[in-house]
Amino acid sequence: MKTVTKKNILQKYPFIGFILFGLLLASIPALAEMGIMKNGYVTTIGGTLIYAIAALGLNVLLGWSGLISLGTAGFMGLASYISAYLTVDLELPFEVAFLLAVLIPTLLGILVGLVSLKIEGLYLAIATLAVAEVLRKTFEELGQFTGGFSGKSAQYPTLFLGRLELDRTTTYYFIVFILVIIMILTSNMMNGRLGRALNAMRGSEAAAQAMGVNLLTHRLIAFALATIFASIAGVLYVHFVKFSYPSTWILKLSLDFLAIIIIGGLRSIYGTVLGAFIVTAVPDLFLKQIPFFEDLSYVLNGLLIILVIIFYPNGLISIGYDIRRLIRKLTKGREKA
């Protein structure tokens, strides 16, 4: 009779692990209220979780599908401006603005997916970067809708058609809830038929076609998922930070998303969140507090990528496996002794 352990349960029902992880993240505001950590950490960690959502979309695109994109920041910014305009200027319910702010960039992302059938690799990266730069320039020039260089303001979400107004803490809980849902959905999709098809496409397109994988359909799905996740992150960003500036949605942010999934781990959901904390939270929470590190903190991203590629090509999330392996060796050595 097979012994049921905690590890077996989490492997069979991964959503339990994601829910427990969400409960851990949800304890951050309580820790801040108790004075265990600074109150401003809630905003920093909330922003980090938002970036993790967008990075998960890029991980689906690059990690599982093998397609590169440098347009994540542009799609995220587009969704943020759409949601801010619909809720503030047109006074539409948050739910309606949320759906439209995700739908419109996703349609644009699907068009980019169509382009990916003709180009790939470095050329696809340049094409997606061009789309992001066009969007950024539009944010600057279309001041009537975006506020131009002054940016666009928004408020905390109001759910259930105006019946429930959120503040900073409850918006943080809302972000955690969305992150957990996306982690569960991503796990289900990537461990199912879709994930196997995307992995086959990443390994060899010719072999994938021979196995019956429709390249057009799955490329469009991959770009759609990446854009949906980026758009959701954009909506959450503008309603949590309450401002959206054109200077936010630049190439550096897209490169940060790339750094997140490389440092954390390609094709790893937990690794993506870990990478988001290392790339975005650690510099703000720790490194900037150290003298002379304030201006050099983001330089460490490049160094981390180099070190990870050399020593941990599967991402820093694999350190946990090495630690467990070392503990097993030590325990077996003690038992033999």
- The DSSP H or E segment spanning 200 is helix 193-203
Residue 303: inside a domain: no
> Which of 150-159, 202-211, 291-300, 321-330 shows the lowest mean pLDDT across its residues?
291-300
More confident residue, 307 or 69: 69
Residue 285: inside a domain: no
Inter-CA distances, 201 with 63, 71, 192, 197, 299, Å:
11, 21, 14, 6, 34
Which of 17, 9, 29, 45 lies closest to 270 in space, CA to CA?
A: 17
Residue 124: inside a domain: yes
d(CA 272, CA 185): 15
Q: How many domains is the chain built from? A: 1
Residue 125: inside a domain: yes
| Start-to-end CA span in the chain (Å) | 30
**Which pLDDT belongs to residue 1?**
43
Instruction: Identify the DSSP state of 212.
Output: T
More confident residue, 101 or 211: 101
**Angle separating helix axes 269-276 and 251-264, nearest 10 degrees:** 130
Query: Burial code of 5-25, b = ≥16 C-beta within 10 A, e = fewer?
Result: eeeeeeeeebeebbeebbeeb
Which of 239, 244, 222, 226 lies closest to 78 in space, CA to CA?
A: 244
Which of 233, 185, 196 lies closest to 14 in space, CA to CA?
A: 185
Residue 269: inside a domain: no
Under 8 Å between Cβ of 312 and 266: no
Residue 309: inside a domain: no
Q: Which amino acid is at 178?
A: I
- Global confidence as pTM: 0.92
- Angle, alpha carbons 5-9-15 (nearest 5°): 155
**Which pLDDT belongs to residue 285?**
77
Residue 319: inside a domain: no
- The neighbour count for residue 181, using CB atoms within 10 Å, is 15
Over residues 174-188, the pLDDT tens digits come to 999 999 999 999 999
Structure tokens at 175: 């972000």
Identify the domain containing residue 192 by its residue range: 6-250
Over residues 228-274, the pLDDT tens digits come to 999 999 999 999 999 999 999 999 999 999 999 999 999 999 999 99
Over residues 147-177, the pLDDT tens digits come to 999 999 999 999 988 789 999 999 999 999 9
**Mean pLDDT, residues 57-80:** 95
**Which pLDDT belongs to residue 122?**
85
> What percentage of the chain has pLDDT greater than the value 90?
65
**Which pLDDT belongs to residue 286?**
72
Under 8 Å between Cβ of 44 and 285: yes
**Which pLDDT belongs to residue 6?**
56
Residue whose pair of structure tokens reads 């739910």 in the numeric block: 95
What mean pLDDT value characterizes the chain? Answer: 89
> Which of 74-88, 165-179, 211-225, 274-288 shows the lowest mean pLDDT across its residues?
274-288
Under 8 Å between Cβ of 275 and 261: yes
Highest mean pLDDT among 108-122, 219-233, 309-323: 219-233
Has residue 334 got a pLDDT over 70?
no
Inter-CA distances, 159 with 97, 153, 155, 164, 170, Å:
11, 18, 12, 5, 11
d(CA 295, CA 166): 35
**Which pLDDT belongs to residue 80?**
97
Over residues 281-309, the pLDDT tens digits come to 888 777 666 666 666 666 776 777 788 88
Longest dimension (CA), the chain: 76
Residue whose pair of structure tokens reads 């980019």 in the numeric block: 112
Has residue 27 got a pLDDT over 90?
yes
> What percentage of the chain has pLDDT greater than the value 70?
92
More confident residue, 121 or 94: 94
d(CA 29, CA 168): 10
Residue 26: inside a domain: yes
Has residue 5 got a pLDDT over 50?
yes
Has residue 4 got a pLDDT over 60?
no
- CATH number, position 108: 1.10.3470
**Which pLDDT belongs to residue 299?**
72
> Which of 28-37, 88-97, 189-198, 241-250 shows the lowest mean pLDDT across its residues?
28-37
**Which pLDDT belongs to residue 314?**
84
User: Which pairs with CB-CB distance under 8 Å and at least 24 residues apart come from 315-320?
Assistant: 315/261, 315/262, 315/263, 315/264, 315/265, 315/266, 315/268, 315/271, 315/274, 315/275, 316/263, 316/264, 316/265, 316/271, 316/274, 316/275, 316/278, 317/264, 317/265, 317/268, 317/270, 317/271, 317/274, 318/265
